[in-house]
Amino acid sequence: MDSLIVMLMIIVLTALPSLPIPASSAFVENVKPVDQSIITNNGKAGNLMAANNFDPVTVNALDNQGNNLSSHGRFDLAITFYDKALALDPSNLKVLMHKADSLSKLSRYEDAVNTYNKALAIQPTNLTILFSKADILPYLGRYQDAISIYDTILTMNPHSYNAMGRKGLALFDIGRLEEAISYFDKVLYKDSNNTLALYYKAVALEELGRYDDAIDIRKKISDIDPNDIEMIFFTGYDLTHLGKYEQALSFYDKVLAIDAYRYDALINKALTLSNLSRYNESLAYYDKVLSIDPGNEMALAGKGDALLKLGRYEQAIPYFDKILAMNSTESSLLDEASKNKQLANDALKNSKSSIRS
């Protein structure tokens, strides 16, 4: 049974946030500011858009051309126009921000950070720039630096729920889960229906093995959106870890009623059926996954295990061989396949010996 739970954990990890897309970026893109003033320069957006003192017509025209290119996804060309504008006015915050944004869109994060630093040298307490810089630091693995900036923002504005949520996600990304939960709770104190904070709190609780608590959180999300397929799936996942297999199956069935070919629901249902020793039923779900993805390691391993449990040793061995031939990066799958192949071979020898005698 332990090997089946290990496979469940491997499957679910593929659905969780990971580098190179930090969880903190998701919060930025999906959560609206609680108060718009906290992501402008203390509500004075005019500071960021202030006219320059050199040649505003030319600089503005170059900036506008860059913005037009950026809006069409031509970030590389946009940067050339921003550079021309900055050659005329190196201290133009608006252009610096636009250039940094385009650099970020091109995944040139170091260059983007350097550009934000130039802007901060001009206006060190500008919240927009501080947030923007902090939000891309996790892409460089600089989580602690991002956290320090969020702390700076919280010193300036202790009620910035954007900073609280983003700090929570940065903490989540580096595995400081209890601290992360405390910041998600701060966001939820202000907005109890903040689904992103609820979602990451549930995931953090799962990582801590607190599946009952995670189910309670996911129920809140489902109450907000009863058709949220992710919440339905992960509730089944949590129930499986709690050993409530029959209940878990009902949630996987709900997911499959919405998306009949969702592979992680198919595999998790198959593994849960195996946990209930319903091996014949599980085979149909493994086969469905393999019809979609013939090289799916979890389905191959799970089907081999089910066949082994059913005493169909000769049929099971080729599935273990396929896993071993793949040189999987998942050592647990390789170890399990090797062990199960040996069990199948031994069982075959024993059965042949008993027939001869």
pLDDT digit string, tens, across residues 70-79 = 999 999 999 9
User: Which structural domain range is residue 110 located in?
Assistant: 43-124
Q: Which of 37-51, 87-101, 118-132, 309-323 has the lowest mean pLDDT?
A: 37-51
pLDDT at 239: 87
Rg (CA), the chain: 26
99, part of any domain: yes
67, part of any domain: yes
Q: How many CB atoms lie within 10 A of CB 53?
A: 9
Q: How confident is the model at residue 355 (pLDDT cuts 50, 70, 90)?
A: low
58, part of any domain: yes
The total number of structural domains in the chain stands at 1
Phi, psi of 257 (to 5 degrees): -70, -30
63, part of any domain: yes
197, part of any domain: no
Is pLDDT above 90 for 287?
yes
Q: Which residues, 6+ apart, have CB-to-CB distance to 353 below 8 Å? A: none
348, part of any domain: no
User: Taking the complete model, does pTM exceed 0.75, yes or no?
Assistant: no
Burial (CB count within 10 angstroms: exposed 0-12, middle 13-18, buried 19+), residue 81: buried
Region label for 43, one of left (φ > 0), alpha (ψ between -120 and 50) or beta (otherwise): left
> What CATH number did the domain enclosing 75 receive?
1.25.40.10
d(Cα 317, Cα 3) in Å, to the nearest integer? 17
Is pLDDT above 90 for 108?
yes
Mean pLDDT to the nearest integer, 274-286:
94
Q: Which of 126-130, 178-182, 227-231, 259-263 has the lowest mean pLDDT?
A: 227-231
**Do 81 and 65 contact (CB within 8 A), yes or no?**
yes
Looking at the DSSP assignment, which residues form a beta bridge with residue 238? none
94, part of any domain: yes
| Percent of the chain surpassing pLDDT 90 | 62
101, part of any domain: yes
Average pLDDT taken over every residue of the chain: 83
